[in-house]
Each structure stands twice: as structure tokens, then as C-alpha cells.
Copies of this chain bind each other. A is one copy, B any other.
């Protein structure tokens, strides 16, 4: 179990932007993971269900672009969700493509998990304050876009 960090080293800025970002991602992932625990969903799995719910049927490649996940990584990340019947796929007109969509069981699962996710969101937003929360979201989108132009 991760120890509370408060009483020892209070994480200061790291000189490396990548290290800073990864560290924050670990910290926040742990918070969301904790809240989502009762649902049995990993944060990543919840994100995939939510993304498919938002996009509707979408190819593996486009889903990867939206989430900045290598499309070959998705081959494996999506497999357990399919195994549980929450998503399904079919071949597209272009038979190389795989089109994914949420099943109705998947939609129900997403709805079941949503309150736990909302609790995580509220918990972080409250600890951060509304202003920081907003600027976090904005700067993250800009960073994500910037890497594409860099």
C-alpha cells in the first residue's frame, strides 16, 4: 500500500516535465482507483467504456488517436471488456479495420460505475479547488496537442 507522503517528503517540483506529469498521473490514478475499487473496474477500463459511449461505433485506430493510446495496445486493453460482454466489434467496409461499440450490458455497467467515478471527481476537485481544477484540464489538453506539433 502506498504510504501517506505528508509526514516525510512533501513532493516538490521535479526539473523534468515528463517526470512531473507521470508522477501526478500516478497520484491521481491511485485516487480514482480507490474510488472505483467497489466497481471492479480499473480507471483505464472505465475510461474506455466512457470513450466508446461518447463516440459511438468507432475503429480501434480512431479510438487510440482520441485517447493517445497505441492502437496495438488497444488490442489487449479491449479484450477483457469484450470478454465480459460490455463491448463488441465487427469488421468494417475496409476489412482491416475493427469497429468497436458499447453493448447494452456495457452501457448498464457504465451507469452502475458512474457514481463511484463522480465521487472521485468531486474528491479531487474539492482538494484542488475549482480554479485549479479548470486550469488543470485546460493545460492538459494543450499539452496533449502540443506533443503532436512538437
Contact = CB atoms under 8 A, between A and B. Distances in A.
Interface of A: 2-6, 8-32, 43-44, 46-47, 50-51, 61-62, 64-71, 117, 120-121, 123-128, 132-133, 135-150
Main secondary structure of the interface of A (DSSP, over half): helix
A43 B70 contact: no
A46 to B, nearest CB: 8
A145 B28 CA distance: 10
A124 B150 contact: yes
15 contacts: A11-B145, A12-B141, A16-B47, A17-B136, A18-B43, A19-B67, A22-B25, A23-B67, A23-B69, A24-B144, A26-B69, A28-B143, A31-B147, A127-B147, A128-B143
B9 A32 contact: no
Contacts of A121: 16-17
Contact of A65 (B5, B18, B146): B5
Contact of A31 (B24, B29, B51, B150): B150
Contacts of A44: 22
B21 A140 contact: yes
Contacts of A27: 68, 143-144, 147-148
B68 A137 contact: no
Contacts of A128: 142-143, 146
A123 B15 CA distance: 15
Contacts of A32: 16, 18
